[in-house]
Structure 1
């Protein structure tokens, strides 16, 4: 890791004993990735969950036209890393997308592919150093649905036939059918996740008016 990115990732203090680290090792259909894996670290933040990304910089597609540190609609069409946090009893989930160029996108969904809030504000900073990039986002607790118990993370890069879709928890090869396309909203493949493993057993998520009235 370059010195610039290493310094960027260390700008904020956190408890090394209270974090979860993930590496995206496979494409969406369970083939091994052909590059250094994208790394995601989740740790405690002030009034939210800190999400840090360290990844190769593919520089493909070109940067979005939007302003850095601002929401950008349709960010999934660019080079992004995404994390989804799901309450599997209700199919309510938070989708977070971050881009090496500094744009981000937050969606709150109630039901598969059913967003009811989009382009919410978020603190996110990114830095590109050579052929790598690093980013740090603070995900406010009010964006998380109650009782999150599953998660998945994804990465997308490349253009045209080189467009590549990667998944932390991919679809097993023996379950892929002919003509199947990448589907990041296949909630049944998400892995187990409990925020208390990061925040501590006695921690309780603050309430949120954003989720009131949802199943």
Structure 2
């Protein structure tokens, strides 16, 4: 499945090449390939490469959310061009049950104004029966901070909020339907 982010958080067209995300099932998980403009704004958060970094959304990131809309459980995955990541499992809107989840397989590299990231998300990280998705990109510093969305909110909102689950769209990822989710992640 290919995702391309071409809009701001509230639906305006972006003015630079889009973020592209490719998702593919592989042994043991979902492979995520990112190709995105590299703004280097803000600069690296400074955390260790390959490790979770708290509040990574305050930096340059690409985020993907995987939702089970029946019970509003979702996985939030954030990737930074400097090699840090942040993964949160949420039960209910904006209600994390687990954060700073380790990821063994994220690499990022930059060249010629583009950054590319590759990761494999283990099946156990996902809530069961993922049926909706959204993706986002963030870069820049205030007052030029840019928030972009695959499926944007409408103009009735005055602030970006990526946890507006009503804007997520249906998806068929062919993820395992049941029995794969990790109790260490989801607390059950």
TM-score with structure 1 length normalisation? 0.83
Q: Which residue of 2 aligns with 1:146?
A: 128
Does structure 1 retain, via aligned residues, the 8 Å contact 2:97–2:187? no
Deviations for 1:58-101, whole angstroms, at most 9, x for unmatched residues? 01001011011111111000000000000111110000000000
> Residues of 2 paired with 1:70 and 1:206: CA distance?
27
Equivalent position to 1:161, from 125, 132, 143: 143
Q: How does 1:35-74 map to 2 (within 5 A)?
A: 35-74=16-55
Does structure 2 retain, via aligned residues, the 8 Å contact 1:72–1:103? yes
> Residues of 2 paired with 1:66 and 1:106: CA distance?
15
Gaps of 5+ in 1: 1-19
Residues 1:211 and 2:186 are matched in the alignment: yes
Does structure 1 retain, via aligned residues, the 8 Å contact 2:129–2:177? no
Q: Which residue of 2 aligns with 1:188?
A: 166
> Residues of 2 paired with 1:79 and 1:206: CA distance?
34
Residues 1:124 and 2:97 are matched in the alignment: no
- The number of residues matched between the two structures is 185
Gaps of 5+ in 2: none
> Residues of 2 paired with 1:127 and 1:63: CA distance?
13
TM-score with structure 2 length normalisation? 0.94
Tell me the SS of whatever aligns to 1:162.
Answer: coil
Superposition RMSD in Å: 1.3
Tell me the SS of whatever aligns to 1:55.
Answer: strand
